[in-house]
Structure 1
Amino acid sequence: MDGVFILSGTNWLDQMVRELESTDAKYTEEGMKERINAEKKLEIFPCLEFGDPGIYERMKKLPSRRIILTHLSPHLLPPSILQSKAKILVLVWNPKDTSVSYYHFYNNMPVLPSFASWDENFAAFMNGKLAWGSYFDCLVEWNKYLNHERIMMISYEQHKEDQILGMKRIATAFGFSLCEEDFPRIAKQTRVVGNWRDLFSKAQNEEMDRKFEDCLGGTKLAAKMKYDVYCKA
């Protein structure tokens, strides 16, 4: 499967990749690049785990290259993906901001049960009682693939510090050619924010710190997320 998979944080990353791809395609169509647009065009496929059973057959009929979105952990993806030519872009976010994102996502998505309160959401998040299971387990799994040759792993925290540099790395990895002035424009349209401090109690903050240390303390993935910088009260 020759495509691009985006895992976790799909709304923001999907928007960014779409902007990068559409800008690249515009230049190709205008004849400013030598590559043929038909060979480069990325078909956008909706979230892999949503929809009717026929979604997989429709996915197979899309020509390569494709952007396929999913929140699924590695063990839930077909093993062939890691053995194919597919490039995988994994976005990780510190669990505190992720838990807040889940809270709003669940309450705004009609097909998912809403939470009566933040405390109810926090308990479900900490116990892995969400549609995609434990976020901590997911991070532990992806940490094993950190050095895989076809997997590019990025963090929200990296993009907070230098969004333009991060986008340039993504563009290079997936063969998008943009002009220098395009990157500040796309960065402005896809700004990253974090607001976990607005909802966490002192006890919840300490509980999350202990959980993170137990699951990911000392790992390369933890360093990439800069937990001590962005998640300490």
Structure 2
Amino acid sequence: MAQKGLSENLEKKLEENKKTPPEEGLILYNGELYPAGACKPETLSILHTFKARSDDVVLVGYAKTGTNWLGHILIELEAASGKYDEEERNRRKQQEKELKLMPYLEFGDPEKFQRMEMLPSRRIIRTHLIPHKMPKTFFEQNTKMLVLFRNPKDTAVSYFHFAKSMKLTSSEKTWDEFFSDFINGKVAYGFYLDHITEWNKYIDDKNVMFITYEELKENTTSGLKRIAEFFEFSVTEKDIQTIEEKTSFKTMKERAAETHGDIGQNFFRKGIVGDWKSIFSVDQSEEMDRKFEENVGRTRLGKMLKYEVYCKN
């Protein structure tokens, strides 16, 4: 979905968040916490009615795992594969803007699902939802899904800074307080490790591809080629190189105001691996280590995340 129109919606939500007491920043729906500024109970109640298409391009990732970055990559890959000229790109962006579509499936008003049916294929759909909360039609239609993970320590730190900058939490809340909420699942979308546990059940599903933020950072070219092959995007080596340059952290940060409006700075902070070392205490690091080992350390997906490499001093 086009970013320029979306930024206007997000800016409105940020203004609303500023007027919302911190204790009202989350809503509980069907056992799951969601950001009150973006999600409505009436939208969540009809998520199951969403009509997926077999050729939809779906990106799934817990909050602050890198879905904003990877979403841009998918937009560029799909456009390159569709051989869109500038006129076609602009036409699609304008349509998405007019439809007033929020960037994630669970965001916005309930009528958005009807408006999404007006989008041409291939639709790029993002969500932060855990698999059993997602519309079943994705699985029934054998829609291909790219599932993104990031090491839990960097995810927590990124989430903390984003929540404060977007007024999703009190500006007075300390890192220690946020860490306690995060590791106890008292944040929007719940306990991060639960997402790993649930997605591990799909480790052998041929319609699900797993990729990590760290993998993309270390070798973006290889990651883009894997993604293109999975979604059967017809792109050239030159396309890959161009997309890698257009979606680099440096380039996206420089264009943040253009793509995301006044709130752009909130989406691009450091974009590095290992930032957790600057804020985690020894006790917090050890607590996360225990939680990871107890919950997902022995799962195939857990091992794929290379916790020992990215989360140990």
Q: TM-score range by the shorter chain?
A: 0.7 to 0.9
SS at match of 1:19: helix
1:1-233 to structure 2, matched below 5 A, reads 1-2=52-53, 3-8=56-61, 9-25=66-82, 27=83, 29=85, 46-110=103-167, 112-114=168-170, 116-188=173-245, 189-191=247-249, 193-194=272-273, 195-233=275-313
Residue identity matched to 2:281? S
Distance change (3 Å), C-alpha of 1:181 and 1:64? closer
Mean Cα displacement is larger for which, 211-220 or 49-58? 49-58
Post-superposition Cα deviations, 1:112-160, rounded to whole Å, max 9, x if no partner, equal: 2345221121111100011111111111001111111111111112223
8 Å contact kept, 1:158–1:224: no
Residue identity matched to 2:169? P
Using the size of structure 2 for normalisation, the TM-score is 0.65
1:185 & 1:203 partners in 2: Cα distance? 43
Report the aligned-residue RMSD: 2.4
Distance change (3 Å), C-alpha of 1:63 and 1:18? closer
2:235 & 2:128 partners in 1: Cα distance? 28
* Identical columns (%): 47
Distance change (3 Å), C-alpha of 1:161 and 1:201? same
8 Å contact kept, 2:196–2:302: no
Post-superposition Cα deviations, 1:180-232, rounded to whole Å, max 9, x if no partner, equal: 13334433433452211111111110000000000111211122111101110
Using the size of structure 1 for normalisation, the TM-score is 0.86
Residue identity matched to 2:202? Y
Gap regions ≥5 residues in structure 1: 31-36
Structure 1 residue 28, shift from structure 2 partner: 5.4
8 Å contact kept, 1:156–1:225: no
1:86 & 1:96 partners in 2: Cα distance? 30
8 Å contact kept, 1:73–1:138: yes
Structure 1 residue 23, shift from structure 2 partner: 2.9
SS at match of 2:110: coil
SS at match of 1:144: helix
2:75 & 2:170 partners in 1: Cα distance? 29
Aligned pair count reads 223
Residue identity matched to 2:209? M
2:126 & 2:164 partners in 1: Cα distance? 21
8 Å contact kept, 1:7–1:91: yes
8 Å contact kept, 2:75–2:124: no
